[in-house]
Amino acid sequence: MDQRKRITLKDLAAKAEVHYSTVSRVMNPATRHLVADDVAERILRMADDLGFRPNRIAAGLRTRRSGLVGVVLPDISNPVFAPILAGLEGVLASQGYVPIVVNVGADKARQRFIIDQMMGRQVDGLILATAEREDPVLDYCVRQSIPVVMVNRGEDLGRVPCVVSDNTVGMRLAVDHLVTLGHRRIGHIAGPDSLSTGHQRKQGFISAVRRHKLRKGEWLIVEAANYGREAGREACRALLGQSPGLTAIAAGNDLLALGCYDHFREEGIACPGGISVVGHNDMPFVDALTPALTTVRIAVHEMGARAAILLLARIADAGAEVASVVLCPQLIVRGSTAPPAD
């Protein structure tokens, strides 16, 4: 009923008339030199002919390395995560690792359950895209002392390496751009303050408007319920309800900006004619919106790649210094921002 009986080290050794430990040495490039060249060559050829694929599960049991990395995602339908995953996967694969990815949502109990499962599967390390600024799951990982790195979102304590975009700079780019266009009344739709991205971007917004000496009342912040489009629409309504005179909005991410578009459409507000919007992330296809979204591009793919590199380093040497990586974002000016009407 099932796959043709898989051939093993021993089968191959029998055919080659050598001890199976010799075959083992040949199959592993690192130990191949221990075997006479002619023998190695012969065995390699036979392995190829027979389609011998060493059982990595068995090897992993012996070496205590699974070659598996657990990737914990909060929301795979958010387009930011696809390129991050692609970046991760690329470098992991190049080193013979493979990601096991689980989409867990925001529930901490479930995250912990999943991480337990992953540890049961002997993952060599964990990449978390789910971290909150204070995160019990992260505490748990630290206690277990399993190699972990965070991606996109960090924690406040900095116990664990993380790879993030420079959110302060990102918001400053956004605000500088708006101010340069002539805006003085600017709103910010913040992401959840429990997430480092939400918090840092908000702080970045505040320090940027202060730098430009905007007075209290000229700027305003509303925190969205989450990073989704619908939450953005609601926050936009609240923001403009509180301060109808705003001429520009810096959104905490592109989905929130999309929610602003939705609100504008409902209310017949022109963009950028009536109000300007800047997003954050430059997620796929926001250039195809009308107006094309001005946004802060973060290096998502690179973020994934760097996180994988950091994790691999940590797997190789758990004592390595906790170094984090902060990637520089870039302002992408498109059609959703213009000088204010008045």
Interacting residues with DNA (CB under 7 A)? 6, 8-10, 18-22, 24-25, 27-28, 31, 33-37, 39-40, 52, 54-55, 58-59, 61-64
Specify the stretch interacting with its own copies by CB under 8 A; choose among 35-43, 63-71, 172-180, 188-196: 63-71
The answer to whether 223 and 187 are in contact (CB under 8 A) is no
Q: Which two tokens stand for residue 116?
A: 């337990």
Q: Residue 163 class from Cβ within 10 Å (0-12 exposed, 13-18 middle, 19+ buried)? A: buried
Residues 83-102 that bind its own copies (CB under 8 A): 83, 85-86, 89-90, 93, 98-102
Which among 64-72, 167-175, 191-199, 245-253 is the span making contact with its own copies, rule CB under 8 A?
64-72
Tell which residue, 66, 79, 71, 68, has the closest CA to residue 229: 79
Q: Which of 10, 19, 53, 210 binds its own copies (CB under 8 A)?
A: 53
| Nearer residue to DNA within complex by CB, 20 or 140 | 20
CA separation for the pair 141, 144 (Å, rounded): 5
Residue 313 within binding range of its own copies, rule CB under 8 A: no
Q: Which is nearer to DNA, 10 or 210 (CB)?
A: 10
CA distance 112 to 109: 5
Nearer to DNA, 145 or 290 (CB): 145
CA–CA gap between residue 176 and residue 208 (Å, rounded): 7
Token pair, residue 53, equals 């694929």
- The values of phi and psi at residue 251, to 5°, are -90, 150
Shortest CB 144 distance to DNA, Å: 15
Are 227 and 256 within 8 A, CB to CB? yes
For residues 41 and 156, which CB has a smaller minimum distance to DNA in the complex?
A: 41
Q: Binding to its own copies by residue 332, rule CB under 8 A?
A: no
Closest contact distance (angstroms) between CB of 66 and its own copies is 6
Of 6, 298, 31, 30, give the one whose Cα is nearest residue 22.
Answer: 31
CB of 93 to its own copies, least distance (A): 6
For 96, 139, 162, 165, 318, the CA distances from 314, given in Å and listed in that order, are 16, 17, 12, 21, 5
146 binds, among DNA, its own copies, none (CB under 5 to 8 A by kind): its own copies
28 contact choice in its own copies, DNA, none (CB below 5 to 8 Å, kind-dependent) = DNA
Question: What part of residues 158-177 is at the interface with its own copies (CB under 8 A)?
Answer: none
Please name the amino acid found at residue 139. D
Whether the bond into 272 is cis, omega within 30 of 0: yes
Is there binding between residue 5 and its own copies (CB under 8 A)?
Answer: no
Cα(133)–Cα(153) distance, integer angstroms: 8
Cβ-based nearer residue to DNA, 11 or 230: 11
- Cα 272 from Cα 316, distance rounded (Å): 51
Of residues 106-125, those binding its own copies (CB under 8 A): 114, 116-122
Asked if 39 is part of the footprint of its own copies (rule: CB under 8 A), the reply reads: no
Binding site for its own copies (CB under 8 A): 1-4, 53-58, 60-61, 66-68, 76-77, 79, 81-83, 85-86, 89-90, 93, 98-103, 114, 116-122, 144-146, 229, 258, 261-262, 284-285, 288-290, 317-319
